Structures are given as C-alpha cells and as structure tokens.
Amino acid sequence: VRDDRGVVLSGVTARWEDAAEPVLSGVELTVRPGERVAVVGGSGAGKSSLFGVLLGFVDVSRGTVEVPARVAWCPQEAVLVSTTVRENLRIGDPDASDDRLRAALDAVGLGLDLDTEVGPTLLSGGEAQRLGLARALVHDADLVLLDEPTAHLDEPSARALLDLIDTALADRTVLHVTHRPEEAVRADRVVEIAEGRVVVRAYR
C-alpha cells in the first residue's frame, strides 16, 4: 500500500472566494489510505465545501491540506457529455486503451458498448452514476469523493450502487457525503460536520 493516498487536513480554515466568512474553521481530519469515511451533517453545514477544499476550489487561508495526486469527484448527478461511452470514460484518462475502459465498465457492472452514444438523458440515474464510478477507475483515482451519489435513485438502484461502491472502490480512499444513516453505517467511520467544523470524529 502506498502511503500517499490518504487525506490529512490540519487546522484548515477555508472560505469561498466571494464570501466574507470562512465556511470551515480549524478542521482536523485524517483519512487513512483505503479507508472509507461517511461525511454527515445538516444542510449548509459545509460538507460540499469540504470537497471544494480537497479539489482546490475553496481557498484555504490557514492550515494544511494533503491529498493524493489523483482525485475523482462524483456529484449527485454524474456529469456526462453527449458523445460515446468511450469519450465519457476517457475524461478520466485521455490515453486509456479500450481494454482498460472495458475493464472499468466490467468493474461497475455496466454492459455498455464503448461506441454507444450517451448523454444526460440517455442513461438511467443509476447507469449514469456507474459510468461516473467507471470514469474514476479509469482515472485510477486514489481518492474518490462521492457527494450524495444515491440522491436521485430509487431504492433498488440505490442499494445496487452502494453494493458496487463496496466492491469497485474497495481499495480506494473514499469520502462519501450522505444524509442517509443506512448509507453512513456502511463506511468504516462516520464524521459529522456542523457549523464548519468536524464535531464528531467517529461514532462507531
């Protein structure tokens, strides 16, 4: 196991560029390589902002942020472009061979042909999420950020996606924002963000 795949936030204070007040203050959070952490907290608590810090689009005014080299972000609605499955996956790595792309599709249980045209409306919500996960695998992301991946899925699709996250992302470091307790308990650890701070480091 490489030891540079985890996340370490030390005393992080961060602010959106156009905001007067910090959105996160003095955040301490260490996520071990390969660990899966659920991030919970009320609306507006700063969960998405935490991802913004890890992705580098929220300014850090204090403290230090260590993230792995390759990070993938999977939002509530997967970002798909209206072209082929191949080109959607190659956003993860423009040089990936068709064999690697097919392996990623296999890993997420998607039986799509690489030449199939997709787009925001041509796949179900669950398929779109799977394609997003496959793209993260093509990117060979060390850290995968899942922001309420099941928010727009029905119950069976949500359960299927969670099972996939268990298997396909087993060896990745994963932060999973969710407001559903039944999802949070599937993680190795749960952290809660309230008023811009990690208030509970672990409660299981």
Instruction: Kindly tell me which of 11 and 44 has the beta carbon lying closer to ligand DGT.
Output: 44
Q: Using CB under 6 A, count the residues that bind ligand DGT.
A: 12
Applying CB under 6 A, among 3, 18, 95, 155 the residue interacting with ligand DGT is 18
Paired sense of beta strands 36-40 and 189-194, if any: parallel
* Pattern 63-102, ligand DGT, x by CB under 6 A: ----------------------------------------
Instruction: Kindly tell me which of 3 and 18 has the beta carbon lying closer to ligand DGT.
Output: 18
Question: Which is nearest to 126 in space by CA: 155, 147, 101?
Answer: 155
Nearest distance from C-beta of residue 1 to ligand DGT, angstroms? 30
* Pattern 33-62, ligand DGT, x by CB under 6 A: --------x-xxxxxxx-------------
CA-to-CA separations, 98 to 73, 87, 105, 191, in angstroms, rounded: 22, 10, 10, 38
Nearest distance from C-beta of residue 178 to ligand DGT, angstroms? 10
Residue 73 and residue 145 in contact, taking contact as beta carbons nearer than 8 Å = yes
Calpha distance 66→120 (Å, rounded) = 33
Calpha distance 54→33 (Å, rounded) = 15
Buried b / exposed e along 128-149 (16+ C-beta atoms within 10 A):
bbbbbbbbbbbbebbbbbbbbb
Q: Does 16 bind ligand DGT (CB under 6 A)?
A: yes
Q: Rule CB under 6 A: which residues touch ligand DGT?
A: 16, 18-19, 23, 41, 43-49
